Structure 1
Amino acid sequence: MLAAERYDRIIELVNIKGSIRVSELSEHCRVTEETIRRDLDRLEQAGRLRRSHGGAVSMKEVQPEIPYRIRETSQALEKKRIAEAALALIEDGDRILLDASTTAGYMAVNMPDMPLTILTNSIQVATELSTREKIEVISTGGQLAARSLSFVGPLAERSLETYHVDKLFLSCKGVHLESGTISETNELQARLKQKMVGIADQVILLADSSKFGIRAFARVTGLEAVHTIITDQICSEEQSFLYGAYHLKIKTV
């Protein structure tokens, strides 16, 4: 297979699958993984795909994050009610991890000044909590994602590996019951949230009703990793399924 033919085959496979690993492309094209990596570098430079960790992602699948200030006003009333219910689960001395969601931002706004340790990748959350005297705030650091006002990337992921928390308050782009997954818009956010789930005793999902039925591009984790869902409303069929399949606590507000 000529190089030009191989490039076309790679693009075809990436677009069909959405994302694909180097090892799989190597098998399809019958060349070494090192050759595939060089091919992917060239194709990314040509703007035909995007490199990801261990493979490539279709340009058709890449979705820009909606800016924080726009997300902040979407479903704002529901998010504020969910944030209020989430705050009721916090106790003195808790070690808490807040993601960079707008719902976590609303939690920070109304967070009581009590003895807590709060780890976050959110600039908004860290800034809001900077005025609380009794709360110790720890930022992950990392690569700045300007649209979400958050830190992501390898440095943020490695930072999380040094901690353990009692409770993770996590939001997402989509909650898909048929596949049993929660998902995010892009891979960087999804990878970081996977790390968050891995260091928490309790995972509390903050998801307004608009998130249900959505299967976004990058998988975060399965619903079996979630202990509690706080939402504004959920239909009886969805609630019955979640109780039956995952034995979750579901709190509606």
Structure 2
Amino acid sequence: MQKRDQLILQYVNQKGKVSVAELSEMLSVAVETIRRDLTALENKGLLHRIHGAAVTCKTNDLGSSFQYRQKNNADAKKAIAQNALEYLFEGAIVGLDASSTSWHFAQMLPDIPCTVVTNSMHNITALTNKSNITTIATGGMYSVKYDAFYGPLSEQLLKRLHIDFGIFSCNGIDNEGNIWESNELNASVKRKMMDVCDKKFLLADTSKLQRKNLIKLAELAQIDILFIDQFPSEDLQRYCQEHNVLITV
């Protein structure tokens, strides 16, 4: 068992991300055995579990800290969040990811009866004194860098919920309509939240346009409304028109 653990860690650290199926085949053991091994290694803080795979602790955390993102393009993010607030209604169930743009949205939320689901401690803190808002924290593995929760526990809770609309941000949007993230942990939780949202709103300032990053989060065709501070390129506008994605500036 100890030798197999060492081989798993060595392989995961070498490749950055390895699927359960690949480890099962490489080590000639059952998939369930690999899942138990990965859970034990995650509990020791030696790797991170994501859906169907494992990610090394050494390379998965490639994003910028919340403090940096909070200050970057703050005015544009506030304006975009303000536009998205127009879709809030009394009794709404709102999903907020752990982005700085979602934090601006949480800061601006009026104290009306509604429910907010989030994995971000910054969002939770922003809502603390709003007594009419019910806040549901996903729980899970805590990241100091992002001040947010990730991992299987967060994702399991999200699978059991229904959300009226979700507020999401990203690290990049290319002209082909692909949405990009900087690391798998963020991407995995965002995908789970997207899956349970009736409406998905992407909030992105123009610094995110014509950019790619490490992980493909989703396709813009999956988004209902793109909130942005300036109109994107003609190619991206055409893509949005073809896929019924509303652009709000």
For residues 153 and 102 of structure 1, the distance between their equivalents in structure 2, rounded to whole angstroms, comes to 20
TM-score (norm 1): 0.78
- Confirm whether residue 165 of structure 1 aligns to residue 160 of structure 2: no
- Confirm whether residue 194 of structure 1 aligns to residue 191 of structure 2: yes
Q: Does the C-alpha gap of structure 1 residues 55 and 111 become closer, same or farther in structure 2, counting only changes over 3 Å?
A: closer
Q: Does the C-alpha gap of structure 1 residues 208 and 32 become closer, same or farther in structure 2, counting only changes over 3 Å?
A: same
Question: Which of 178, 186, 206 does residue 181 from structure 1 map onto?
Answer: 178
TM-superposed deviation, 1:61: 6.2
Quick one: which amino acid aligns to residue 166 of structure 1?
A: D
Quick one: which amino acid aligns to residue 127 of structure 1?
A: T
Quick one: which amino acid aligns to residue 167 of structure 1?
A: F
* CA distances 1:226-248 after superposition (whole Å, capped 9, x unpaired): 1110011122332122212x210
Q: Which runs of 5+ in 1 are unaligned?
A: 1-6, 45-49
Quick one: which amino acid aligns to residue 125 of structure 1?
A: N
Quick one: which amino acid aligns to residue 226 of structure 1?
A: I
Q: How does 1:47-196 map to 2 (within 5 A)?
A: 53=50, 54-55=52-53, 62-178=60-176, 180-196=177-193
For residues 122 and 62 of structure 1, the distance between their equivalents in structure 2, rounded to whole angstroms, comes to 18
Q: Does the C-alpha gap of structure 1 residues 141 and 61 become closer, same or farther in structure 2, counting only changes over 3 Å?
A: closer
Secondary structure at 1:201 match in 2: strand
- 1:4 equivalent in structure 2: none
Aligned residues of 1:23 and 1:33 also touching (Cα < 8 A): no
Aligned residues of 1:204 and 1:229 also touching (Cα < 8 A): yes
- 1:47 equivalent in structure 2: none
Aligned residues of 2:48 and 2:151 also touching (Cα < 8 A): no
Question: Which of 6, 28, 31 does residue 32 from structure 1 map onto?
Answer: 28
Q: Give the percent of matched residue pairs that are identical in Structure 1 and Structure 2.
A: 32
Q: Does the C-alpha gap of structure 1 residues 84 and 56 become closer, same or farther in structure 2, counting only changes over 3 Å?
A: same
For residues 188 and 110 of structure 1, the distance between their equivalents in structure 2, rounded to whole angstroms, comes to 27
TM-superposed deviation, 1:23: 3.9
Quick one: which amino acid aligns to residue 171 of structure 2?
A: K
**Cα RMSD after superposing both structures:** 3.1
For residues 48 and 99 of structure 2, the distance between their equivalents in structure 1, rounded to whole angstroms, comes to 25
Quick one: which amino acid aligns to residue 208 of structure 1?
A: D
Question: Which of 202, 212, 216 does residue 213 from structure 2 map onto?
Answer: 216
For residues 56 and 24 of structure 2, the distance between their equivalents in structure 1, rounded to whole angstroms, comes to 17
TM-superposed deviation, 1:206: 0.6
* CA distances 1:124-143 after superposition (whole Å, capped 9, x unpaired): 11111111121111111111
For residues 101 and 202 of structure 2, the distance between their equivalents in structure 1, rounded to whole angstroms, comes to 10
TM-superposed deviation, 1:96: 0.6
Aligned residues of 2:77 and 2:205 also touching (Cα < 8 A): yes
TM-superposed deviation, 1:33: 5.6
For residues 26 and 168 of structure 1, the distance between their equivalents in structure 2, rounded to whole angstroms, comes to 36
TM-score (norm 2): 0.80
Secondary structure at 1:243 match in 2: helix
- 1:240 equivalent in structure 2: 238
Quick one: which amino acid aligns to residue 169 of structure 2?
A: S
Quick one: which amino acid aligns to residue 206 of structure 2?
A: S
* CA distances 1:22-58 after superposition (whole Å, capped 9, x unpaired): 545777x7x73669x6xx99xx9xxxxx776445668
Quick one: which amino acid aligns to residue 212 of structure 2?
A: R
Q: Does the C-alpha gap of structure 1 residues 26 and 150 become closer, same or farther in structure 2, counting only changes over 3 Å?
A: closer
Alignment length (residue pairs): 231
Aligned residues of 2:60 and 2:185 also touching (Cα < 8 A): no
Runs of 4+ in 1 over 6 A off after TM superposition: 58-61
Looking at CA atoms only, which structure, 1 or 2, has the larger radius of gyration? 1
